[in-house]
A and B are shown apart, each in its own frame.
Chain A
Amino acid sequence: MLSFDGLVAVCVLYVLMLFGIAFLAEKRAAEGKARWLNSPITYTLSLSIYTTAWTFYGAVGSAVRTGLEFLTIYLGPTLIFIGWFWLLRKMVRIGRAQRITSIADMISSRYGKSGALAALVTLLSVLGATPYIALQLQSVTLSFSVFASPGAFGTPDAEQTAIWVAAGLALFTIIFGTRSLDVNERHPGLVSAIALEAIVKLTAILTVGIFVVWGVADGPADMLARIEASPVSQASWNGARWLGLTVLAATAILCLPRMFQVLVVENSDERHLATAAWAFPLYLLLISLFVVPIAVVGLEIFGTSGNPDLFVLTVPLSMGQQGLALLVFLGGFSAATSMVIVAALALSTMLSNHIIMPLWLRLTRHDDPMSGDMRRVALMARRLSIGGVLFLGYGYYRLSGGADALADIGLIAFLGVAQILPALLGGILWRGATRIGAALGIGSGFAIWAWLLLIPNVAETGGLITPVLEAGPFGIGWLSPATPLGLQATDPLLTAMILSLGVNTLLFILGSLLSFPSPLERLQGAQFVNVYDHSRPLYGWQGAVGMADDLLIMAQRILGAGRAGRLFQAAAETQGRPGTLPDLTPDFLQRLEREMAGSVGAATAHAMVAQIIGGASVSVRDLLAVADETAQIMEYSSQLEAKSTELAQTAARLREANAKLTELSRQKDAFLGQISHELRTPMTSIRAFSEILMQADPVDDAARARFSRIIHDESLRLTRLLDDLLDLAVLEHGRVTLHEGETSLGDVLDRAIRSAGAQVGTEQLAIRRDPAAEAVTLWTDADRLAQVFINLISNAQKYCDADRPELTISVQQRPGRVEVEFADNGSGIPTRQRALIFEKFARADTAKGAPGAGLGLAISREIMARLGGGLSYIPSDSGVRFRVRLPARALRAA
């Protein structure tokens, strides 16, 4: 016999080879070169994790005990792959379209992203898988102990072997299962390794079979004769059990988390499924081909004393075939490890996504679940989960150390995960299925299964609560797992299966019919049931030139032709590919997404790339993220809009200002024209008469006196005009120094009347006053106020056309102000001219006597504004009325 040391060395070498293969595959995949990874054969081989150590070793044992019953385990999947291919294809399509990461995610996604449902499925899966993992550990340690003789490491210690195997598997899974949180959750290295293991186990079992048929027996004919004579062929046929086990196996291939992982999650091309539809049943056929011959020969050699579960190993060993036995050992090792690795990976994904992360999020109240920190946490959760799952398996193995019947544990585990089936099928095929129905179904089935099978199995092996189980809780007999509903079950598995799946399905349907789906459930229901309407098939992520074209077109639209072209070209050059289109490696796709994210946001970029690459329909989560980004973009564009409105307003204001300036400029021209006219007119007289006087041709004395007088008057007029202009300019634009002081309104009026009288002289204007009312003390610039009064009085002198011109000056005290009104008894100002009276150079046509420049009222109004009061024209039927308003502060001393 091979020494234990040698065996350990072989195992270590084998594992190192697996590491190498996996590492190489990862590297090639990252470079986009691993064509074999994207082949349907690799996919089919990876599906072979279905045949675990249980079937590798246990099928022969099963054949010894129950004849051909082991075939049911292969029959179920075969029927599914051939007959229900459409269902598998739909699952794969949904998985890709919704970017499903596990069976729990599938159920939860379908039923409105229910976290509780996902947790329930995860729990069920972990409970179902734990005995299964224990089974694998047991088979490895068992094969170790059978195979190896004591070596330098001492005798093979079953517990130690198991713990080392578990640790090694955990390490492998962590390294190749959690290298990164890949978008598509694919693990090329891991898949390559299990594909290789599939070849090893098939080769091993075929070699043993050939050895048995042609080495031990004399070919097929002799073999058939030996089978005829063997007790194996005498095994009784139990139709119900056959049917039940076939259905169970068929269910398992759909519901087992690890099968879902390789079947759906690791699928890179939908067309691979078509190959697997015949190749996988063929694989199962080949691996089961020699089960019966090995069982028959084993019985011949060992009789009933040997452990039939190990005949595959013990038969070659007993014939001295050390090399063959080693191959078988590696086959069994492969079967066990590949199952454990994928199961641990699938379960860790579920545990971290649906139990650990939600709890962590709830406990830490992280605001930003998309941060990089979160990814590290997720990876760590996944790694811890892998360790935890394997530790659970190891713990169960320790507890159930004595159980020999491997096949039974496997079947119990199958039935556990089978509880997912009604919700899964219903979810895919029936839009009416609801979360309530799914929860009720899975929950009830799970409870029944646990009570009837799981707990008794644990109790049996651990001897914990056996009495309670046998008598039923509280002595209620029909609740006892041994006699459920009072039935004396001949086959506990079958009974439990019918009861659990029956109740499960019934409650699922009833619950669905009686509850209403949420909007999200309705949406997801439609997405699942009508998945072909919403998605495109996935044809691998490598080498699809058309896809690269599509991507380039899209990238050009987002990034602009130049930038997109350069990005693609650079990637193609880095990959060493001719032309401008690179292979669509994950690296490149990530880079492209990052580049695009700068323009359209990360979620949108991801959805767009996924749409083209994955043929994925966009998930609700994606849609929400996209909506978020769109909202931001809309916000941005509304800001732009606001800016452009602002610009338009500014432009309008500028136009307005420009129009104002133009108008001002026009007014300035008009004003200059007016000033020019006002200055040139007296100067024309002065020049003309002075030239007449200067001429040699003399004029008479009367004319000379008259002309001199005109020249003199016109000079005064010019001076007055200049004074007024300067006055107005200062009032309008300059700083006016007001000499405010205490004075009396009556005094100011006296001064004004004296000045006006002195100015005009000849014309007589009767002025009526009310001295009592004028006794108001003012605080103001008396000179300026007098100037205003003078102007108003002289206007009356000039324009009042009454026969006996009269000006009434009245004073009224109002709250906070004093009003002085100047009213004459003339015919007033014609209506059409009223609007113009305060304009510069405006003069009434009725001017008589010495004309002013028409600046008086404009100046007066400016003065009153400076004094804080006002000057207004009061429309009236009789005569001209002006009102001077003095502000409150002018009354300070009053």
Chain B
Amino acid sequence: MGGRILLIEDEGNILEAITFILSRAGWEVQGHGNGATALDAVRRVAPDMVVLDVMLPGRSGLDILRDLRADAATADLPILMLTARGQAKDRETALELGATGYLTKPFSNADLVATIDRLAADPAGHARGAG
């Protein structure tokens, strides 16, 4: 496995933890902490996969997801949504908007890595997120 992952997450500690975990798993991770400039970051970084937090300052992760899916360049990009709101409705909304995977915080590191690997192997996006 390997490739570039753009991680959009405003919580510094979480950003640091995920970066550490995925780096160990062989990914090149780029972090970005602001929702408002997230789309620019995607264009600039051109990642193989995006890990996107839902509650971001400046712009909601769901809005960013919608825009990414509307853009032909990123329409098929695997996107893993992370959310701390833990409500079933949010998960449904995310999948409807075209999220490839979905994880609820807090998650186990093993789940995170396994989900990322699965999304990388199956970029068509049969969304099967854990928990």
Residues of A within 8 A of B (CB): 673, 676-677, 679-689, 691-692, 695, 697, 703, 710, 714, 845
Question: Is the Cβ of A676 less than 8 Å from the Cβ of B106?
Answer: no
Question: Is the Cβ of B106 less than 8 Å from the Cβ of A673?
Answer: no
Of chain B, the residue at the smallest CB distance from A710 is B13
B93 near A: Cβ within 8 Å?
no
Question: Is the Cβ of A673 less than 8 Å from the Cβ of B85?
Answer: yes
Partner of A680, one of B16, B18, B21, B84: B84
Which residues from A are CB-within-8-Å of B87? Answer: 673, 676
Question: Is the Cβ of A697 less than 8 Å from the Cβ of B24?
Answer: yes
Which residues from A are CB-within-8-Å of B55? Answer: 677
Given the contacts A685-B13, A685-B14, A680 and B106 also touching, CB distance less than 8 Å: yes
Question: Is the Cβ of A714 less than 8 Å from the Cβ of B13?
Answer: yes
Among all A-B residue pairs, the 6 with the closest Cβ atoms: A688-B17, A680-B84, A685-B13, A684-B105, A684-B106, A687-B106
Given the contacts A685-B13, A692-B109, A680 and B57 also touching, CB distance less than 8 Å: no
Partner of A688, one of B58, B84, B104, B109: B109
A845 to B58 CA separation, bound complex (whole angstroms): 8
The smallest C-beta distance from B58 to any residue of chain A, in angstroms, reads 8
- Contact digits for B87-131, partner A, Cβ 8 Å, 1 yes 0 no: 100000000000000001111111000000000000000000000
The smallest C-beta distance from A240 to any residue of chain B, in angstroms, reads 119
The smallest C-beta distance from B10 to any residue of chain A, in angstroms, reads 9
A686 to B11 CA separation, bound complex (whole angstroms): 12
Given the contacts A676-B84, A845-B57, A681 and B11 also touching, CB distance less than 8 Å: yes
The smallest C-beta distance from A688 to any residue of chain B, in angstroms, reads 4
A689 to B18 CA separation, bound complex (whole angstroms): 9
Which residues from A are CB-within-8-Å of B58? Answer: 845
A682 to B19 CA separation, bound complex (whole angstroms): 16
The smallest C-beta distance from A586 to any residue of chain B, in angstroms, reads 80
Question: Is the Cβ of A688 less than 8 Å from the Cβ of B85?
Answer: no
Number of A-B contacts (CB under 8 A): 63
The smallest C-beta distance from A345 to any residue of chain B, in angstroms, reads 95
The smallest C-beta distance from B14 to any residue of chain A, in angstroms, reads 5
Partner of A677, one of B21, B84, B110: B84
Question: Is the Cβ of A681 less than 8 Å from the Cβ of B105?
Answer: yes
Return 27 A-B CB contacts under 8 Å, by A number. A673-B85, A673-B87, A676-B84, A676-B86, A680-B85, A680-B86, A680-B104, A680-B106, A681-B84, A682-B13, A683-B105, A684-B17, A684-B107, A685-B11, A685-B14, A687-B107, A688-B17, A688-B21, A688-B106, A688-B107, A689-B13, A691-B110, A695-B109, A703-B20, A710-B13, A710-B17, A845-B57
A692 to B87 CA separation, bound complex (whole angstroms): 27
A689 to B14 CA separation, bound complex (whole angstroms): 9
The smallest C-beta distance from A125 to any residue of chain B, in angstroms, reads 98
Question: Is the Cβ of A689 less than 8 Å from the Cβ of B17?
Answer: yes
Which residues from A are CB-within-8-Å of B86? Answer: 676, 680
A682 to B106 CA separation, bound complex (whole angstroms): 9
A684 to B54 CA separation, bound complex (whole angstroms): 14
Residues of B within 8 A of A (CB): 11, 13-14, 16-18, 20-21, 24, 55, 57-58, 84-87, 104-110
A683 to B21 CA separation, bound complex (whole angstroms): 16
A689 to B13 CA separation, bound complex (whole angstroms): 9
Of chain A, the residue at the smallest CB distance from B15 is A685
Which residues from B are CB-within-8-Å of A679? Answer: 84
Which residues from B are CB-within-8-Å of A683? Answer: 105-106
A710 to B20 CA separation, bound complex (whole angstroms): 14
A363 to B86 CA separation, bound complex (whole angstroms): 91
A703 to B23 CA separation, bound complex (whole angstroms): 14
Which residues from A are CB-within-8-Å of B106? Answer: 680, 683-684, 686-688
Question: Is the Cβ of B85 less than 8 Å from the Cβ of A687?
Answer: no
Of chain B, the residue at the smallest CB distance from A677 is B84
The smallest C-beta distance from B31 to any residue of chain A, in angstroms, reads 14
Which residues from A are CB-within-8-Å of B16? Answer: 710
Of chain A, the residue at the smallest CB distance from B112 is A688
Of chain B, the residue at the smallest CB distance from A695 is B109
Is chain A's interface secondary structure helix, strand, loop, or mixed overall?
helix
Which residues from A are CB-within-8-Å of B105? Answer: 680-681, 683-684
Question: Is the Cβ of A691 less than 8 Å from the Cβ of B84?
Answer: no
A681 to B14 CA separation, bound complex (whole angstroms): 8
Listed residue (A681, A692, A695, A714) with the most chain B CB atoms within 10 angstroms of its CB: A681
A532 to B58 CA separation, bound complex (whole angstroms): 92
The smallest C-beta distance from B93 to any residue of chain A, in angstroms, reads 12
The smallest C-beta distance from B25 to any residue of chain A, in angstroms, reads 11
Which residues from B are CB-within-8-Å of A673? Answer: 85, 87
Question: Is the Cβ of B14 less than 8 Å from the Cβ of A676?
Answer: no
A688 to B18 CA separation, bound complex (whole angstroms): 8
A697 to B23 CA separation, bound complex (whole angstroms): 13
Of chain B, the residue at the smallest CB distance from A694 is B109
Listed residue (A685, A692, A845) with the most chain B CB atoms within 10 angstroms of its CB: A685
Which residues from B are CB-within-8-Å of A691? Answer: 108-110
Given the contacts A710-B16, A714-B13, A684 and B108 also touching, CB distance less than 8 Å: no
Question: Is the Cβ of B108 less than 8 Å from the Cβ of A687?
Answer: yes
A562 to B58 CA separation, bound complex (whole angstroms): 75
Given the contacts A685-B11, A685-B17, A692-B17, A677 and B85 also touching, CB distance less than 8 Å: yes
Task: Please give 20 more A-B residue pairs, beta carbons under 8 A apart, in addition to A684-B14, A686-B106, A714-B13.
Answer: A676-B85, A677-B55, A677-B85, A679-B84, A680-B85, A680-B106, A683-B106, A684-B105, A684-B106, A685-B11, A685-B17, A687-B106, A687-B107, A688-B14, A688-B18, A688-B109, A691-B110, A692-B21, A703-B20, A710-B13
A685 to B11 CA separation, bound complex (whole angstroms): 9
Given the contacts A689-B17, A691-B108, A710-B13, A684 and B84 also touching, CB distance less than 8 Å: yes
A677 to B85 CA separation, bound complex (whole angstroms): 5
Listed residue (A677, A682, A688, A691) with the most chain B CB atoms within 10 angstroms of its CB: A688
A845 to B33 CA separation, bound complex (whole angstroms): 12
A691 to B107 CA separation, bound complex (whole angstroms): 10
Of chain B, the residue at the smallest CB distance from A851 is B11
The smallest C-beta distance from A655 to any residue of chain B, in angstroms, reads 26
Which residues from B are CB-within-8-Å of A697? Answer: 24
Which residues from A are CB-within-8-Å of B109? Answer: 688, 691-692, 695
A687 to B104 CA separation, bound complex (whole angstroms): 13
Which residues from A are CB-within-8-Å of B57? Answer: 845
Listed residue (B21, B85, B108) with the most chain A CB atoms within 10 angstroms of its CB: B85
Which residues from B are CB-within-8-Å of A686? Answer: 106
A561 to B32 CA separation, bound complex (whole angstroms): 83
Which residues from A are CB-within-8-Å of B107? Answer: 684, 687-688
A671 to B109 CA separation, bound complex (whole angstroms): 28
The smallest C-beta distance from A596 to any residue of chain B, in angstroms, reads 65
Of chain A, the residue at the smallest CB distance from B105 is A684
A680 to B14 CA separation, bound complex (whole angstroms): 11
The smallest C-beta distance from B87 to any residue of chain A, in angstroms, reads 6
Of chain A, the residue at the smallest CB distance from B24 is A697
Listed residue (B13, B86, B104) with the most chain A CB atoms within 10 angstroms of its CB: B13
A90 to B83 CA separation, bound complex (whole angstroms): 100
A845 to B16 CA separation, bound complex (whole angstroms): 21
Which residues from B are CB-within-8-Å of A714? Answer: 13
The smallest C-beta distance from B78 to any residue of chain A, in angstroms, reads 21
A714 to B84 CA separation, bound complex (whole angstroms): 15
Of chain B, the residue at the smallest CB distance from A687 is B106
A688 to B24 CA separation, bound complex (whole angstroms): 13
Of chain B, the residue at the smallest CB distance from A679 is B84
The smallest C-beta distance from B111 to any residue of chain A, in angstroms, reads 10
The smallest C-beta distance from B71 to any residue of chain A, in angstroms, reads 26
A673 to B55 CA separation, bound complex (whole angstroms): 11
Of chain A, the residue at the smallest CB distance from B34 is A845
Which residues from A are CB-within-8-Å of B104? Answer: 680
Which residues from B are CB-within-8-Å of A681? Answer: 11, 14, 84, 105
A676 to B84 CA separation, bound complex (whole angstroms): 7
A676 to B105 CA separation, bound complex (whole angstroms): 10
Of chain A, the residue at the smallest CB distance from B86 is A676
Which residues from A are CB-within-8-Å of B84? Answer: 676-677, 679-681, 684
A695 to B21 CA separation, bound complex (whole angstroms): 11
A71 to B57 CA separation, bound complex (whole angstroms): 126
Which residues from B are CB-within-8-Å of A692? Answer: 17, 20-21, 109
